[in-house]
Amino acid sequence: MTAVEVSEPAVAGFHPDPTICRVGDTYYLANSSFEYRPGVPLRVSTDLLHWDLVGHAFTRTSQLPDSEGLGSTGIFAPTLRHHDGVFYLVTTNVVGEAPEQVILRAESIAGPWSEPSVTQGAVGIDPDLCWDGDECYLTWCELGVGISQARIDPDTAQLQEEPRRLWSGTGLAHPEGPHIFKRGSWWYLVIAEGGTERGHSVSVARGVSPTGPFEGCPANPILSHRSRAVAVQNTGHADIFEKADGDWAITFLGTRPRGVSPGFHVNGRETFLAGIEWHDDWPVVIDPRHEIVATDHSFLDDFRGDRLHARWASPGVFPETFAQTGAHGLRLASDVVRFVGARVQDLEWTSTATLAVSEGWGAFALRLDEAHMYAVEVEGERVVATSVIGEVRTEHGSIVIAPGQEVTVTIAAVPDHGQFLARPGPDTITLAVHTDEGEQVLARLDGRYLSTEVAGGFTGRMLGFAVRGEAMVTTIACTAR
């Protein structure tokens, strides 16, 4: 069992289930997006160290219908591949009782991406596509069974044969996340096992055909951080690929938990990178191989462009249905509660926003899901700090303003550095409002209640704006400390 000493993600913040394909000297990365729209962020890199967000695969309601936006529903793990000049993305929309796989196609990674073609008879999650000559194979996790496979027409998503059982892993829980690739005369099947918590791991098998039979690696799992005293935990759900220089690499998800046991990760599952060496035709994960350094994810947005930056996303609906950019900023208008936010990517940060609520209720909010959120709310003459933890909503400090007045508010995350037995959490969240007398802190809240270990699920923190009524946001600045 291998552990690597990676500490900095290649793509930070809620970017789980990474999948990479290469075309020439350029690499393309896709990640899960769950309940958020637009769906499946897409990135491009030429060095594997710096990734540019170029768009999303799901950009319209015809591809991804509106939903309730409940936490950790929606679009699960994708696979991104390129074949005969076409990009293919296969994934699962789990909304519904029996989730089938959906395939989208595009000639350019930036789109436009096609309407989804939907399988019939491939119920499960975590689909993969691979080609052996003209034959294409769909491989997926059949829940409660293991890894299944069938030949498929990738343009119509029609299965060409009855599914077969392929491999059930090494006996660890939840064999899932399959990817198949070829190196030399061997076909390799990479899967995740152990669940996406601390026992997460990567195992591999090989065979002479993409249809198997597959023999497990004697050194499985080839990657796991379970029971290791390292900063990055929950490592798994990997994609192995050949680099432009002929070397090989592995991308995988991981988390950065902090605080007292069991540790709390708050930014979701992130994308990491390590090297691969080959011993006796088996992949061995090595590190260091890529010099990834901490990235400054600070941004300033005045919302005066033609459209929202690609960083902004909403649960259940596309942002443009209620959030419109314009000459004066971002106008939010909805008769039901809506949220638009950007992924939090740093562990320590400060964000300040200026907004005015002309009707109803608005808030600057830090959100993990619909039942776990801290916010500075504005309604009528009140500005109040609130927390929502499960079914309990609590009001903290507040001030009085003139109705409709523009207010500047701040949310900040500062890591906890408590002493032994002081039960430190991952961070402290400060909610503040700016007045003529300066910044007035309304609440300091324990960040563990906005962590996956408390809330459950598969996503990470989002920072943004909630509305029920009408509000105007003129600026937001987010700065890594």
Residues 312, 462: contact at Cβ < 8 Å? no
pLDDT band at 421 (very low <50, low <70, confident <90, very high): low
Secondary-structure class of domain 19-286 per CATH = mainly beta
Does the structural domain 299-480 have CATH classification 3.30.70.890? no
pLDDT of 430 strictly over 80: yes
Q: How is residue 351 written in tokens?
A: 């964000």
In this prediction, residue 6 carries a pLDDT of 80
The pLDDT mean for the chain works out to 96
Instruction: Indicate the domain borders of the chain.
Output: 19-286, 299-480
Instruction: Using the predicted structure, report yes or no on whether residue 67 has a pLDDT greater than 80.
Output: yes
Q: CA–CA separation, 300 vs 71, rounded Å?
A: 27
For the annotated catalytic residues, the residue numbers are: 17, 176
Answer whether 203's CB lies under 8 Å from 216's CB.
yes
- Which pLDDT band holds residue 296 (cuts at 50, 70, 90)? confident
Tens of pLDDT, residue by residue over 218-267, are 999 999 999 999 999 999 999 999 999 999 999 999 999 999 999 999 99
Q: Is the predicted pLDDT of residue 170 greater than 90, yes or no?
A: yes
Q: Give percent of the chain with pLDDT exceeding 70.
A: 99
Question: What single string gives the DSSP state of each residue in 216-264?
Answer: E-TT--SEE-TT---S-EEEEEEEEEE-TTS-EEEEEEEE--BSSTT-B
User: Each residue of 84-116: pLDDT tens digit?
Assistant: 999 999 999 999 888 999 999 999 999 999 999
